[in-house]
Amino acid sequence: MKVVIQRVSSASVTIDEKIVANIQKGLLVLVGIEDADTQEDSNWLVGKIVNLRIFGDENQVMNLSVKDIDGDIIVVSQFTLHASTKKGNRPSYIKASKPEVAIPLYENFVKRLEMELGKKVQTGIFGADMKVLLLNDGPVTIQMDSKNKE
């Protein structure tokens, strides 16, 4: 699984001109799933995301997690995180999972985040044409890949 985590002052997801998710201070998490991904990949990422110390403490040192600040999370599925641009100019998405594989892992990822965060996690709608609006705070943007745990 690949994720792009953005620390935000606010974020929202709109589908067909209707806001389906909306948060203030917290994280916008874009997640891409491939066939090789397992529950172990999901669990590792969830643990990292909720405990990632990227929010400022009283001295403005990035020392607090989203959990510590009682922040919110929006999760958006994004198969394009698995784009291969090796050949030509048109990206290939062959590594991205089909919905029948990705949706159960995505839904479980969201449930695990809710359990670890201790509150509801907002989401887009899997496979929908979404408009994602965010105010990146910092900016702070972090990429993680469960297959490359650096």
Question: Any idea what DSSP says for residue 39?
Answer: H
Can you say whether the dihedral through the CA atoms of 133, 134, 135, 140 is positive or negative?
A: negative
| DSSP state string for 63-103 | EE-TTTTT-EEEEEE-GGGG-B-SSSSS-B-TTBPPHHHHH
In the chain, the amino acid numbered 103 is: I
d(CA 115, CA 117): 6
CA distances to 29, 80, 93, 135 from 89, in Å: 26, 14, 13, 30
Between CA 21 and CA 43, with CA 28 as vertex, the angle to 5 degrees is 105
**Which sequence positions are flagged as catalytic?**
80
